[in-house]
Amino acid sequence: MKKIDLSAWDRKEHYEYFKGMELPFFSICGNIDITGAVKYSALKKIPLFNLILYSVSRAVNDIPEMRLRIRGEEVVSHDATHPSFTMKTGDGLFCFCTVPYSRDPAVFFSALEKERTKSSSDPAIDDEGYTDELIYITVIPWVSFTSITHPVGELKKDSIPRVSWGKYIKNGDTTLLPFAVHLHHALCDGSHAGRLFTDLEKMLSDPFLILH
């Protein structure tokens, strides 16, 4: 992690402008072509969720602006950010599960299964040990949504990106995934959200490119 020198930061003016807003977040929703990921999942017998989670984590970490966080009057850049996602529990509710990010797919998938097993035996939704080195992820597998909103605890303190995806849609031979990203505008712009959509679609159109 490193601190950003605000006095020399080329984004300083944008940062100060949007940071002062009552609601400094923006969201973008759209469909992503995951036809290749669906085929790869069936071929390799890897859960589609695992493929998407890894691809999202990698795409977010590859965009430097999405690793920035606001801490009081400072901005820090993390070396890596880690996916924290919701997982269904046996009582029909959900818990939070956080996986340490690794660019190595084998390492990431192994850590994912370990954390899911741990969370299943000891589910929790508290934020004890809170860290901003996270990517908040929500999956809505029942709805092919066209928009989505998120709860934010403290608008002036929280700058963690939120990522969501929903029930995929079959359109002929193509499979489309409703996808949304929620970002703090003091740190990210529409161009960064656009890059996330573009990079993620490339990864999910041909998982062989990133998993081998």
Give the domain ranges of the chain.
2-172+182-211
d(C-alpha 86, C-alpha 18), whole Å: 29
Q: For strands 134-140 and 162-166, give the pairing.
A: parallel
Lookup: tokens for 153: 């605890």
Name, in order, each residue with C-beta under 8 angstroms of 35's C-beta and a sequence gap of 6 or more. 173, 174, 175, 205
Which CATH number applies to 2-172+182-211?
Answer: 3.30.559.10
d(C-alpha 46, C-alpha 53), whole Å: 12
d(C-alpha 193, C-alpha 55), whole Å: 15
pLDDT class of 171 with cuts at 50, 70, 90: very high
With the C-alpha atoms ordered 124, 130, 131, 132, is the resulting torsion angle positive or negative?
positive
User: What is the pTM (predicted TM-score) of this model?
Assistant: 0.92
Return phi, psi of residue 183, to 5°: -130, 155
- Res 120: pLDDT: 66
13 membership: H or E segment, kind and range: helix 12-19
pLDDT digits (tens, 9 = 90+) for 12-59: 999 999 998 989 999 999 999 999 999 999 999 999 999 999 999 999
- Give the mean pLDDT of the chain: 92
3-state secondary structure at position 59: helix
pLDDT class of 157 with cuts at 50, 70, 90: confident
pLDDT digits (tens, 9 = 90+) for 87-106: 777 666 777 899 999 999 99
